[in-house]
Amino acid sequence: LTTFTDEARIALDTLSGRATGLFSPSLRLGVTGLSRAGKTVFISAFVHNLIHGGRLPLFEAQKSGRIARAFLEHQPDDAVPRFQYEDHIAALVNDRAWPDSTRAISELRLTIEYESASGWSRMFSSGKLSVDIVDYPGEWLLDLPLLGKSFADFSREAFEMAVLPVREDLSQAWRALSAEIDPNADADEMTARRLAESFAAYLKACKLDERALSTLPPGRFLMPGDLEGSPALTFAPLAGLGDRRPRPGSLHAMMDRRYEAYKTHVVKPFFREHITRLDRQIVLIDAMQALNAGPGAMADLERAVTEILSCFRPGRGSFLTDLFSRRIDRILVAATKADHLHHESHDRLQAVVRRLADRAVARANFTGADVDVVAMAAVRATREGTVKQGRETLPVIIGTPIAGEKINGEEFDGKTETAIFPGDLPEKIEAVFDISGSDHRQDPVDPAIRFVRFRPPKLERTAEGVTLSLPHIRLDRALQFLIGDHLA
């Protein structure tokens, strides 16, 4: 009965969404990516550049001068927190500090008034488009495959992943604790808590480790949102369950029930209320960090992108997914932070992302939406220059490293502008994916890639004291793909 009600509600939501869409054209744009991928910075730069008429030559409507104005309006969903745009811009522009990252779902409505490109459309169209930007943690999305998995499946897969060479040492404490526990013993709250805490500590360690591993479910263990400390999160996979049915009253039965409750009360509503209503999606990835960490981390990132893409086209045959798969028609996989590389490497970074996305699309057996890729910097924190070294002239990037960042033992104070030779991505992109041999923990492909975090850029002011919009790399290309056709 629950399933039926869920599906009926989605149908109604979708129909009413489409109907209202006729009167006030709106586009729901999902912005996701694992934590620190660059969602907050992307949305802030996206909105700031549109409101302030930024330099966007690849965004056709802006380039041809058809955008009359862009402004923020009340968002349509009262129950969803608002994306704190003003705070984030104040941090970026006034303090030259990166804003607080995404921790839960939020929403912002940007309305664009424009003139249609063709005279025919000008007669009929309102020339107004509202873009509802929905920011949410990719970790939550990676929970969706759980809907199709039993507690036994979830447990088995969690242990399989945990013994991969790349995770083996990080998961050791949790596996040792699990080995001591008999799933068939009587349910006990303290045991459940110890297991859940140990499992969560392992998942967090994967994320924080320099190997930069992508996330494993359950996503709320890493990004709890408003469920922080809640009993809904007090469960963990159990070892050696096989096909055994849980004995009533056992730890196994208790964990099984909590896992099912997590799916019903956390995962399903999120999917139903937010994901199925999206029209377009951008998936941000931190390819720079994965490249820096080596091929094992690249393989892991590819797995995460595959799983993320599968979420936008879950298994066939259900009423819910049929309805859903018709809606998202474009997905952009975007690597941000390209400003850490000299422009000569931007195309290589994009080729790396293309290859990663192509393989993910093939593995997820994904069809039904256009998938494109871009290597960009939503906010460009560096400029380019050259430095003479002996007879050679080397391309460098120039920026202000964040206080405390180090290169070759030198520590930066957060105030001094510095030129850094960032190194190149290899010409043969296969090298960055090469995990031949059983040891996934190889050295980074090119140890010469130097990765320092920079402060956001100082904005130029015009003679009238007006601050110009945030500089970027290829943000306009992303905008064109994501919303350009709706402004035609």
**Positions in the binding site for ligand GDP (CB under 6 A):** 33, 35-41, 98, 101-102, 336-337, 339, 377-379, 381, 453-454
Least distance (Å) from ligand GDP to the CB of residue 339?
A: 5
Residues 126 and 111: their CA atoms lie apart, in Å, by 12
What is the DSSP code (8-state) at residue 377? B
Task: Check if the beta carbon of residue 307 is closer than 8 Å to that of residue 215.
Answer: no
Task: Check if the beta carbon of residue 252 is closer than 8 Å to that of residue 238.
Answer: yes
155 or 469: CB nearest ligand GDP: 469
Least distance (Å) from ligand GDP to the CB of residue 473?
A: 8
Least distance (Å) from ligand GDP to the CB of residue 284?
A: 6
289 or 480: CB nearest ligand GDP: 289
Least distance (Å) from ligand GDP to the CB of residue 416?
A: 17
Tokens of 166: 């790349």
Least distance (Å) from ligand GDP to the CB of residue 390?
A: 30
Least distance (Å) from ligand GDP to the CB of residue 379?
A: 4
**Cross-strand partners of 401:** 454
254 or 278: CB nearest ligand GDP: 278
How remote is the C-alpha of 72 from its chain's centroid?
23
96 or 441: CB nearest ligand GDP: 96
Least distance (Å) from ligand GDP to the CB of residue 381?
A: 4
For the chain, counts of helices (H) and of strands (E): 17, 12
Residues 287 and 333: their CA atoms lie apart, in Å, by 11
Q: Helices 189-208 and 172-179: crossing angle, nearest 10°?
A: 160
> 């009600």: which residue's tokens?
5
What is the DSSP code (8-state) at residue 96? -
Residues 40 and 233: their CA atoms lie apart, in Å, by 26
279 or 339: CB nearest ligand GDP: 339
132 or 286: CB nearest ligand GDP: 286
Task: Check if the beta carbon of residue 93 is closer than 8 Å to that of residue 467.
Answer: yes
313 or 474: CB nearest ligand GDP: 474
Least distance (Å) from ligand GDP to the CB of residue 77?
A: 20
Residues 42 and 70: their CA atoms lie apart, in Å, by 17
Residues 40 and 99: their CA atoms lie apart, in Å, by 7
Least distance (Å) from ligand GDP to the CB of residue 300?
A: 17
Residues 40 and 98: their CA atoms lie apart, in Å, by 9
Compute the 3-state secondary structure of the chain and give helix, strand, coil in percent, each to the nearest 5. 45, 15, 40
Residues 227 and 236: their CA atoms lie apart, in Å, by 16
> 């309805």: which residue's tokens?
323
Least distance (Å) from ligand GDP to the CB of residue 469?
A: 14
38 or 246: CB nearest ligand GDP: 38
Least distance (Å) from ligand GDP to the CB of residue 256?
A: 32
Residues 234 and 129: their CA atoms lie apart, in Å, by 43
101 or 198: CB nearest ligand GDP: 101
**Complete edge-to-edge strand list for the sheet that includes strand 418-420:** 383-389, 392-399, 418-420
Task: Check if the beta carbon of residue 382 is closer than 8 Å to that of residue 454.
Answer: yes
Residues 121 and 123: their CA atoms lie apart, in Å, by 5
CA 166 → CA 29, 161, 169, distances in Å? 34, 9, 8
37 or 152: CB nearest ligand GDP: 37
Residues 391 and 219: their CA atoms lie apart, in Å, by 52
137 or 145: CB nearest ligand GDP: 137
